[in-house]
């Protein structure tokens, strides 16, 4: 999904990511098979002394597959929300049910989600009603039901990028009121009494909002070890 293979309307990308990987493997094999003498049989590695090869056929393979057809249909849906929630919903509905990707235009989307994050001074505080324990529940109760778990003896999968280590204390908290501690559904991020960012990576539900929405994208999200993450049941 990191290569833009996510179907944003369905919020699904595993099938497209797997198919794109299969196509990549097929095209890489086709290139390497053209000159088998360059391949080391024991390891399958290309001779380091040889120049790297470019898999030019991969782009064409993707365009000829069902991936291209599926993603072309919804290419404008995410971008349409730059006009606002209701215009975006209206356009997405029209695109999915009537246009189905046949529109002759592509809506530009030139800013990242991180660049569109508003500062605290531009926003109004939201007063959420307290959970009633019947239809709505507190964060920790919902977190427990997710069954999320990460091995404690493995590398942490959430880190602050070294060159952006100053962002939490100098930018995120004073100017944005620490949005990472607000939108995270698992209370992964907290600021202590000294204004220092604390990361509880073991709580992570893998929504990846923190790596996408934070100022300057200062959080590095990597795939955790093994099967770490949420373990939802009855789904």
DSSP, collapsed to helix, strand or coil, labels residue 136 as: coil
Q: Name the band, by pLDDT with cuts 50, 70 and 90, for residue 115.
A: very high
Q: What is the pLDDT of residues 176-229, one digit of tens each?
A: 999 999 999 999 999 999 999 999 999 999 999 999 999 999 999 998 887 788
**Cβ contact 19:61 at 8 Å:** no
Average pLDDT on 85-91 reads 94
Secondary structure element (H or E) that encloses residue 140, with its range:
helix 139-146
- Predicted pLDDT of residue 52: 67
Cα separation, 35 vs 37, in Å, equals 6
Q: What percent of the chain has pLDDT above 90?
A: 62
**Cβ contact 38:32 at 8 Å:** yes
**Cβ contact 38:46 at 8 Å:** yes
* CA distance to 116, 165, 173, 210, per residue, from 160 (Å): 20, 6, 14, 11
| Between 7 and 1, the higher pLDDT residue | 7
**Cβ contact 79:57 at 8 Å:** no
- Predicted pLDDT of residue 65: 95
Q: What is the pLDDT of residues 89-107, one digit of tens each?
A: 999 999 999 999 899 999 9
Q: What is the pLDDT of residues 23-62, one digit of tens each?
A: 999 999 998 888 665 554 445 555 555 556 778 899 999 9
DSSP, collapsed to helix, strand or coil, labels residue 145 as: helix
Average pLDDT on 134-143 reads 91
What CATH number should be reported for the domain whose range is 120-221?
3.30.70.20
- Predicted pLDDT of residue 203: 93
Domain ranges of the chain: 14-99, 120-221
Q: Which two tokens stand for residue 220?
A: 């590095």
Average pLDDT on 109-120 reads 90
* CA distance to 24, 47, 84, 191, 203, per residue, from 53 (Å): 13, 11, 44, 47, 42
- Predicted pLDDT of residue 42: 47
**Cβ contact 227:150 at 8 Å:** no
Q: What is the pLDDT of residues 60-80, one digit of tens each?
A: 999 999 999 999 999 999 889
Cα separation, 132 vs 229, in Å, equals 27
DSSP state of 88: H
Cβ burial 9-20 (10 Å sphere, 16+ → b, else e)? eeeebeebbebb
DSSP string, 57-70: HHHHHHHHSHHHHH
């Amino acid at each position: 999904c990191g290569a833009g293979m996510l179907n944003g309307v369905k919020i699904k990308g595993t099938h497209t990511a797997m198919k794109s990987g299969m196509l990549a493997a097929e095209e890489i094999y086709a290139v390497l098979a053209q000159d088998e003498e360059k391949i080391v049989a024991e390891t399958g590695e290309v001779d380091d002394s040889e120049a790297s090869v470019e898999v030019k056929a991969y782009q064409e393979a993707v365009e000829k597959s069902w991936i291209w057809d599926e993603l072309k249909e919804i290419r404008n849906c995410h971008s349409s929300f730059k006009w606002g929630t209701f215009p975006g919903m209206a356009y997405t509905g029209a695109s999915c049910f009537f246009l189905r990707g046949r529109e002759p235009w592509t809506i530009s989307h030139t800013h990242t989600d991180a660049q569109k994050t508003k500062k605290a001074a531009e926003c109004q505080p939201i007063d959420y009603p307290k959970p009633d324990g019947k239809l709505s529940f507190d964060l920790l109760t919902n977190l427990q039901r997710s069954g999320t778990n990460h091995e404690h003896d493995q590398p942490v999968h959430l880190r602050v990028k070294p060159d952006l280590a100053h962002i939490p204390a100098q930018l995120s908290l004073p100017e944005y009121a620490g949005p990472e501690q607000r939108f995270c559904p698992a209370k992964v991020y907290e600021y202590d009494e000294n204004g220092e960012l604390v990361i509880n990576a073991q709580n992570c539900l893998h929504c990846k909002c923190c790596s996408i929405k934070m100022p300057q994208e200062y959080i590095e999200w990597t795939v955790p070890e093994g099967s770490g993450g949420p373990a939802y049941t009855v789904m």
